[in-house]
Amino acid sequence: MTAFELQSTDGAARTGVLKTARGELRTPAFMPVGTKATVKAVDPQELEALGAEILLCNTYHLHFRPGADLIDELGGLHRFMAWDGPILTDSGGFQVFSLRHTILRQDDEGVTFRSVYDGDEERFTPELSASIQRQLGSDIAMCLDVVPPPETPRRELEQAVRRTTLWAQRQQRVERASGQLLFGISQGGADPELRRRSVEEIAALDFDGNALGGLAIGEPKDQMLETTAWAAELLPQDKARYFMGIGDPAGVLEVIERGIDMFDCVLPTRNARTGSALTWEGQLNIKAARFARDQRPLDERCSCPACTRFTRAYVRHLLNQQEILGLRLLSLHNLRFLLDLVAGAREAIERGELRSYKAEALARLAPAEEATWAT
């Protein structure tokens, strides 16, 4: 039995339902990122009200602080952070390999690195990643993969593909939390032969879902989208497809159109910390002087808690004074914007109108002329 039920298609785009131990998730789905068991500045009850159906938490960070043993002892991650819905945990692979300067050595057995917390020598193996994710009790666990940076020499890229498959085979044999799904991840960058090999090897292992990893990490955008299109086509129809690490409004629509069901990104909350609002007029630097007397909400079409009650002028004032409420309001708004955008895409697919939805959205979202110097 498969956890994913395909519901409708529109070109390569699809809608579906992913069944997890803690409820169903409608796809396409954006997953807000709660790196350290919190989506920064936002209460889980607020996330639910915003329309989030699943969160992503980071194995790497939770392993080091506060530790999976402690979270396990306290009843698991859901209870710890008071979120009852589905949680996906990444494997730690992306963190280890994106913090490249901390890597000491890697071999077929695992990867040794210095923790960013205290510089201690640590080692991740597929078995350890599985065990941490079992203790956290997430609903979807991810396989530990090797994530090479863009422009990695082919020989090393091939090594990463080989090792990613080897680790996936090992992780598949490790005991999981009750009802926990396990997704495989393909690598291979944008190299057609290596990506194809990786997608086929991982798909053959018959995981509950399949992810594309090692994309949107700095390679040219058209290369990334082209790879996504044909790689998604190679993946089984009846399993969820997860594009790891994309969250800009245009990018999200592009991968949905190419048959991706799930994606995650820190962008909405990270943008909030820099004072940038996602809106239907493009990204606005709310700290700018031109908003000082602006009585409009952040976005006229948005019904989030920030837009229903507060003006741009007020949010600008809060942000410029580093008031915590400003950060909270902008985080709530940016999350709602992205969740609404994806919900809209989902409805458009059901109507067979994704193409026009996307065209209209992209025309409106084109980056507004920003006077970023005017603060």
Euclidean distance between CA atoms 195 and 222, whole angstroms: 16
- The separation between the first and the last C-alpha atoms of the chain, rounded to the nearest angstrom, is 56
- Mark the segment that binds Zn ion (CB under 5 A) among 75-83, 143-151, 205-213, 300-308: 300-308
Q: Catalogue the long-range contacts made by 95-100 (C-beta closer than 8 Å, 24 or more residues apart).
A: 95/58, 95/59, 95/60, 95/61, 96/60, 96/124, 97/146, 97/147, 97/148, 97/149, 98/147, 98/149, 98/217, 100/149
Among residues 139, 264, 299, 340, the one annotated as catalytic is 264
Nearer to Zn ion, 333 or 358 (CB): 333
SS3 category, 219: coil
340 classed as catalytic: no
- Least Å distance, CB 314 to Zn ion, is 13
- Least Å distance, CB 53 to Zn ion, is 19
Regarding 307 and contact with Zn ion (CB under 5 A), the answer is: yes
Regarding 239 and contact with Zn ion (CB under 5 A), the answer is: no
Nearer to Zn ion, 170 or 316 (CB): 316
Among residues 90, 261, 299, 340, the one annotated as catalytic is 90
Residue from 36, 39, 57 nearest 48 by CA: 39
- Backbone angles phi and psi of 36, in degrees to 5: -105, 45
Regarding 302 and contact with Zn ion (CB under 5 A), the answer is: yes
Euclidean distance between CA atoms 226 and 224, whole angstroms: 6
Regarding 304 and contact with Zn ion (CB under 5 A), the answer is: yes
CB atoms under 10 Å from CB of 326, counted, come to 24
Query: Which amino acid is it at 365?
Result: L
Regarding 329 and contact with Zn ion (CB under 5 A), the answer is: no
Among 312, 316, 333, 346, binds Zn ion (CB under 5 A): 333
- Least Å distance, CB 337 to Zn ion, is 6
Binding mask 14-43 for Zn ion (x = CB under 5 A): ------------------------------
264 classed as catalytic: yes
- Mark the segment that binds Zn ion (CB under 5 A) among 78-86, 219-227, 328-336, 364-372: 328-336
List interacting residues with Zn ion (CB under 5 A): 302, 304, 306-307, 333
Catalytic site residues?
A: 90, 264
